[in-house]
């Protein structure tokens, strides 16, 4: 067995709430503050709402923070087979209708979540007061002739269930989290492992997510469609980027391409977190909070 670090302890405790969205049960993590301004947080791919604990502890206490586990992640229910941006977008719409039906909302999203909050701000511009997107800039553009191979691969994957790599214990998963996030302290990694992981019933630990997330999407990504949505955003947008370009290299994007994409968003502000990888909220939560707090105070 691995030697475990003493898990990090949050200053602000969260509570679990549940929301039924068209028959799918979503887990909603909340750091409640009665009468305070609401702040909605959306996590990224292979992440969970609990990863925002570090950021919430660094923000001022006047926020009522609400963060769902996206469908197929954490404690939320799994979809029948596929996960599309449209599914997540409709889940976000239902969440906001349940928690803030009459008031324009403040949104923060990381990676997948960042793409979602910006899409939502363009699709329903009247519902959004302000948006912060954390290291999110879309995917690599797909070519039309990718469609046949993509759909064929997706059909094949539906026949062959995916599996996640297993770890001997939560400490083994914590060690993997530190490999993925080199600036993540051991105590925080140990805390996070118990939320992004779960026991598999066979004495090991796996990711707390639907393995179907490893399937290719049957829908091609076309940035031109995303740009058409972003151009409709009326709320102020803060794009916070990491200075590490490892993710860009994996996606096949350059920094100049990212700059050109973000330029289509009206009323955009930008900030960069130095010496930081893609998961800003894990590696540099204090620096990130110092950027986010004045932006949302101003709106």
Give the pLDDT confidence score for residue 179 in this predicted structure: 94
**Would you say 67 and 29 are in contact if contact means Cβ atoms under 8 Å apart?**
yes
Q: What percent of the chain has pLDDT over 70?
A: 99
Strands ordered across the beta sheet of 15-21: 15-21, 24-31, 63-68, 37-42, 105-110, 128-134, 237-242, 268-273
Q: Which residue has the higher pLDDT, 260 or 82?
A: 260
Q: Is the pLDDT of residue 1 over 60?
A: no
**Would you say 134 and 281 are in contact if contact means Cβ atoms under 8 Å apart?**
yes
Residue 2: pLDDT band (50, 70, 90) is: low
Q: Where are the domains of the chain?
A: 15-142+220-297
| pLDDT tens digits, one per residue of 133-174 | 999 999 999 999 999 999 999 999 988 878 899 999 999 999
Pairing type for strands 128-134 and 237-242 reads: parallel
* 3-state SS class at 155: helix
- Taking the complete model, does pTM exceed 0.85, yes or no? yes
CATH of domain 15-142+220-297: 3.40.50.1820
Q: Which of these, 209, 206, 211, lies nearest to 169 by C-alpha position?
A: 206
> Measured between alpha carbons, how far is 113 from 273 in angstroms, rounded to an integer?
18
Q: Which residue has the higher pLDDT, 210 or 246?
A: 210
**Would you say 115 and 194 are in contact if contact means Cβ atoms under 8 Å apart?**
no
Q: Is the dihedral of CA 99, 105, 110, 111 positive or negative?
A: positive
**Would you say 40 and 95 are in contact if contact means Cβ atoms under 8 Å apart?**
yes
**Would you say 102 and 81 are in contact if contact means Cβ atoms under 8 Å apart?**
no
């Amino acid at each position: 067995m691995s030697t475990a670090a003493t898990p990090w302890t949050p200053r602000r405790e969260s509570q679990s709430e549940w929301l039924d969205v068209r028959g799918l049960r979503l887990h909603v993590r909340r750091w409640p503050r009665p009468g305070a301004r609401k702040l909605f947080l959306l996590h990224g791919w292979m992440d969970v709402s609990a990863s925002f604990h570090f950021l919430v502890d660094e923000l001022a206490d006047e926020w009522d923070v609400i963060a769902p586990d996206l469908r197929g992640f954490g404690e939320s229910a799994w979809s029948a087979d596929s996960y599309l941006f449209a599914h997540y977008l409709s889940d976000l719409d239902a969440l906001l209708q349940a928690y803030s039906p009459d008031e324009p909302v403040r949104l923060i999203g990381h990676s997948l979540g960042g793409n979602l909050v910006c899409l939502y701000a363009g699709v329903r511009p009247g519902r959004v007061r302000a948006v912060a997107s954390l290291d999110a800039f879309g995917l690599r553009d797909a070519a039309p002739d990718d469609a046949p191979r993509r759909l064929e691969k997706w059909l094949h994957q539906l026949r062959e269930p995916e599996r996640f790599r297993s770890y001997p214990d939560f400490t083994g998963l914590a060690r993997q989290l530190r490999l993925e996030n080199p600036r993540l302290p051991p105590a925080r990694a140990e805390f996070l492992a118990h939320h992004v992981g779960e026991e598999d019933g066979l004495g090991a630990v796996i990711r707390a997510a639907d393995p179907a997330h490893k399937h290719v999407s049957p829908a091609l990504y076309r940035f031109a469609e995303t740009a058409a949505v972003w151009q409709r955003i009326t709320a102020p947008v803060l794009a916070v980027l990491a200075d590490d370009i490892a993710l860009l290299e994996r996606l096949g994007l350059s920094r100049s391409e990212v700059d050109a994409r973000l330029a289509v968003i009206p009323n955009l502000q930008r900030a960069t977190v130095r010496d930081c990888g893609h998961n800003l909220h894990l590696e540099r939560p204090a620096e990130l909070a110092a950027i986010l707090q004045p932006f949302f105070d101003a709106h």
